[in-house]
Structure 1
Amino acid sequence: MSLRAWLSKARPQKLPFRRRVTRAAVALIEREGRDGRELFFIQRARRKGDPWSGDMAFPGGRLQQGDQSSRDTAMRETLEETGLDLYRAGAYQGRLSDLLTRHHSRWRPMVVTPHVFTWQGDDTLTLNHEARRGVWIPMAYLADPVHQSRLPIATPLGTLTFPCCHYQEYCIWGLSYSMMRERLSSAGI
């Protein structure tokens, strides 16, 4: 068994300490498109001081006191950021593995829970100030090794390279790339 296969099996779906740190949730939204199954991404708005400004991401955000669950957070945040109403037109498929990251402006840990939905509504988007653009990308395209690459990022430790996927002028990397790869794998793509 390869190291990558072992790590993917060893990664727990629910991190045991997730309730003791700040939590966030995102929605991976799929639909049947012209070229087969598609996955929805937003391009984050460009904001000064945001380390992920302009990056491709899944809609989502931090859990708030009124949220019933991380799934509710993903649905609420998707509605706020994009106008896609998963309460009305999203069929819930399940969750992916929790991922550990940090707050945008602080070095405190944060656990992000991805939830998968099938979109059954129309294409109308109402983007708020957090999202610059919404893009549906064919899942077969995302899975094709031809579109996989490495993204160099300058850090205080030197230049690090991260796996990524390029689509038109967009680059998917980081947590979004990791969630995308897990979803493609679980969908058998």
Structure 2
Amino acid sequence: MILRPGPTVPEVLLIERAKREGDPWSGHMAFPGGRADPSDASIQQTGERETLEEVGLSLERADVIGRLDDLGGRAAAANKMVVSAHVYQFDDPGRLVIQSSEVAEAFWVPLDHLTDPDNYVRHVMQYGEHEIPFPGINVGDDRPRVVWGLTYRFLEVFFEATGTPLLKHDIPDPEDFARISE
């Protein structure tokens, strides 16, 4: 999670993942980052390497604010993954250089946009015959771009830690989701 000063409030960097065959997160809104490589000395180094690859930002120039609580993927998934997020602050991150094979677009979103209930949406995912609603935040100006899932959950953790929790909306019952996705 990368922050920078904005015109009126701090902003966070979001990416829209490139659409790729076989990628379950294809087209999703996310923070820069990715899978660990055996050469990475730490999970923090993984995020720093992936950020440099995806958007051209060297996090060595940023201040490390801290690490958010790790989050897990779906409990019913065969290979449950654990995702880590570190928070960085830039005074001036410079120009983004997008790696188009991984990132369709990257842009900065004011933090107050993410806490404004007018931007809250209901994101519905289809699992077989079932539609499951998830809380989301629309960050698109020209078309819908919805932050949901793990990225949304990391934003919840971040805003809770800063004393400005996101309002609760459309949160599915985890038991229902586990039963449907088995």
What interval of TM-score do these two structures reach, taking the shorter chain for normalisation? Answer: 0.7 to 0.9
CA contact (8 A) 1:75 1:85 kept: yes
After TM superposition, which residue ranges in structure 1, 4 or more long, deviate above 2 angstroms?
Answer: 120-123
What is the deviation of 1:158?
A: 0.6
CA contact (8 A) 2:5 2:91 kept: no
1:68-117 Cα distance to aligned partner (Å, 9 max, x none): 21111111110011101101x21101000111126xxx831111111000
2:29 aligned to which of 43, 56, 63: 56
Match of 1:145? 117
Moved more, 93-102 or 118-127: 118-127
CA contact (8 A) 1:139 1:184 kept: no
Amino acid at match of 2:153: S
* Cα RMSD (Å): 1.5
1:83-122 pair list within 5 angstroms: 83-87=56-60, 89-101=61-73, 107-122=78-93
Cα separation, 1, equivalents of 2:73 and 2:119: 25
Match of 1:47? 20
1:125 aligned to which of 74, 96, 100: 96
Cα separation, 1, equivalents of 2:107 and 2:85: 18
Cα separation, 2, equivalents of 1:157 and 1:70: 37
1:1-189 pair list within 5 angstroms: 28-87=1-60, 89-101=61-73, 107-128=78-99, 129-156=101-128, 158-168=130-140, 169=143, 170-189=145-164
- The structure in which a higher percent of residues are strand is 1
Q: Which runs of 5+ in 2 are unaligned?
A: 165-182
Please give the secondary structure, in 1, of the residue aligned with 2:125.
Answer: strand
TM-score, with structure 1 as normaliser: 0.79
Please give the secondary structure, in 1, of the residue aligned with 2:84.
Answer: strand
Residue 62 to residue 144, structure 1, CA distance change in 2 (3 Å)? same
Match of 1:11? none
Match of 1:19? none
Cα separation, 2, equivalents of 1:78 and 1:179: 17
What is the deviation of 1:185?
A: 2.0
Please give the secondary structure, in 2, of the residue aligned with 1:71.
Answer: helix
Percent identity among equivalent residues? 37
What is the deviation of 1:157?
A: 5.1
Q: Which runs of 5+ in 1 are unaligned?
A: 1-27
